[in-house]
Amino acid sequence: MDSFPKHDPNLIIQAAEDKKAAGNLQGAQMLFEGALLEWGDEAREGAGGAELREALATLFLAYADFHRINKAWKSAMDTYEQAISDPTSGTVGRVFLEYARFAEEREKKVTAQKVYIRALVGDSEQQAAVTDEQDTALLWNEFLEMMRRNNPSLSLLDLKQAVQNEHTRKRMQPDQNTSISNLDEKRSRTNDMMPPLERRTYVVTSDEVEAETVKMKAIVAQMPPEISAAWMARDGDSPAQAPEHPLFSPTRPKMSDASGRELIGDEMALRITERLLSDSGSVLLEVCRTLWLTTALKEKETSQALESLDDSMMKEHRALEASHDARLSVAGAASSAVKMMNDNERNGFEESCSQRRQKILSRYAWEFRNLMCVQQTILKKLGVPGFDGPTVDAHTLDFQSNICSLLHTAFFLRKNLGLEQHKKMLESQRERLKKDRARDSPKLGPPIPTRGMSPVPPPVILSPGPPINHFIAPPPQPPIYRQQPPPPNYGMIPQPYANMMQPVIPPHGMPPIQQPPPLPIQQPPMPQMMPPPAHFGQQPPYYRQ
C-alpha cells in the first residue's frame, strides 16, 4: 500500500479494475480489503479526520459495487453491513442510502426499512447513526419515496410519526411485518395543513464523482454475458442487426392524449405520471433527454461511417475500371481472356465491398445493442416503471419503447411549457387517470348466476288450457325414389371416339399394326330395391279412432 498516495480511493479502485481486467479477481479483492483494514486502523487512531471518513466510505461503496458487478450478492450485502457498522464510515449518509437502494433492488424491502430506521432514529441499542442535516433530509425523502410506491398518498409527517412510534414502543421484529409496512392502509388527513417538503440537497464531492464515473465506465465497457448470448441466440445464422425498436426515436410520436394511455395503458400511464411528479422528476427528464441525444449521436456516427465507406469504395471502383480499360486497350488478340480476367476481378471487388459494408453494419449493430443495455440500466436505477434491467425480449422492448416515447413527449413539453405549467398538466392527468381507474374498476357484489346445461332435464309444467289430443296423426313419411332405368346408350362408345378403335393403316404400304382387343366394359350391377312392407301406407292400429 506504500505505492499509493494516502487516502486516495480512486487509485485503489483503478488498480483493482486493472487486476480484474487481467483476470486476477482475488488480487483485486485483496487490494480492496488491505486498504480498508489499513485506513480503518488509521481512522480509529484519530488520524485523517473528515477526509479519511469520506475516503473510507467511498472505498467501501466501490468494494460493494465490485461485488455487485460480479453478481456476488451475498458478498455485496456483507460489505454494506461492514460499512454501516464501521464507526468511521457508519456516520456517512450516502453509505446507508446506497445500502437501502441495493436492498430494495434485491426485493428486500424489510431490510431497506431497517437501514433507513437505523440511520435516522437508531435502534434499541444505539441512537441515530447519521446526524448531518443534509444527509438526514435526503434519507427521509428517499425513505418516503420508497414507501410511496405502495401508498402514493403517504405524507412525510405520517412516515415520521409511524417510525417514532415504532422506535419508542420497540415493536421492530425481524420476522414480522411492522406497522411501517402497513402504512399503505393509512390515509393522510393533514396534507392541507402540512408545509411543503423541503427540496433534496446534497453536497457532491469530487470523490463521489470519480466513484460514479468508475461505475458507469464498468457498465458501458462491456455488455453482460447473458445479454450478449441472448442477442446471439436471436440472430441465429443471420448477421447482427441493430434493435428494430430503439428506446428513443429521433422524432417524438403523435399522441391524442399527453398521458400516453393509448400506448402503455391507464395503469402504467398513472405510474409514469406519478414518477414525473416526484421530487426527482425533473432530473429524470433531463437524463432521458441526454439518452435521446446519445441515440441521435450514435445514429449520426453510423451514417457518417457508411457514407465514408461508400465514398472510398466508389473511388476504388473508378480506379479498378480505369485499370480494366487500360488493360483491355492493349490486349489485342487476347481481349477475350482479358475480359474474363476483368470480370473475375470485378466480381471479387463487389464481394469484398459487400463484406466490408456488412462488417461495419455488424459492428454498429452491437454498439446500438450495448447502448440500449446502458439505457435500460440507467432507467432502472432511476426507478422508471417498466424497466427491470437489460433485456432482449421483443415484446418487452416494444413496450419500453412506448414508455420512452411518453418520456420524450414529457421532456419536450417541459421545455416548451415550463416547469409550473407542465406540473399542473401532469396533476390534472393524474386526477383524470385515477377517476377513470375508479370508474372502470369492478365492484364487488353477490355472484351473478349463470345459465348452463344441466344434466337433469327440467320438469314439465302444464299450464291450464284446453285438453291436449294425444292421438295425433303420424308424421309424414319421406317419399321413396325408385331407380330409373339406364339410358339406351349406356356403356357404348361415343361417336367422336368410335374411329379410334379402328385399325390404323400406316403409310408406304406397311402392313397394319395389330391393335390389342378392347377391354370389355363392365356395367355396374343394378341396385336391388327392397319391396315395401305389407302395411305400407296403412294407418297403424293404435292410431285408429
Tens-place pLDDT, residues 151-177: 888 888 888 888 877 766 654 454 444
pLDDT of residue 264: 86
What is the rounded CA–CA span in Å between residue 242 and residue 235? 11
Which pLDDT belongs to residue 515? Answer: 58
Say how far apart CA 511 and CA 505 lie, in whole Å.
7
373: exposed, middle or buried (Cβ count in 10 Å: 0-12, 13-18, 19+) = buried
The three three-digit cell numbers of residue 296, written as one number: 441521435
Per-domain boundaries in the chain: 9-211, 222-440
The C-alpha cell that represents 262 in the structure block: 393509448
Q: Give the pLDDT mean for 320-324.
A: 89
Q: What percent of the chain has pLDDT over 70?
A: 69
- 25 HSE (CA, 13 A, CB side): 6
Return d(Cα 481, Cα 449) in angstroms, integer: 52
Distance CA 545, CA 168 (A): 101
H/E element holding 104? helix 93-105
Measured distance CA(72)–CA(19) in Å, rounded: 17
Overall average pLDDT of the 466-488 stretch: 52
Taking only the tens place, the pLDDT of each residue in 226-262 is 888 888 888 888 888 888 878 888 777 777 777 888 8
Beta-carbon contacts of residue 36 (< 8 Å; ≥ 6 apart): 56, 59, 60, 63
Q: In this structure, how many other beta carbons lie within 10 angstroms of the beta carbon of residue 492?
A: 10
Q: Are 336 and 211 in contact (CB under 8 A)?
A: no
Average pLDDT, the chain: 76
The DSSP code for 449 is P
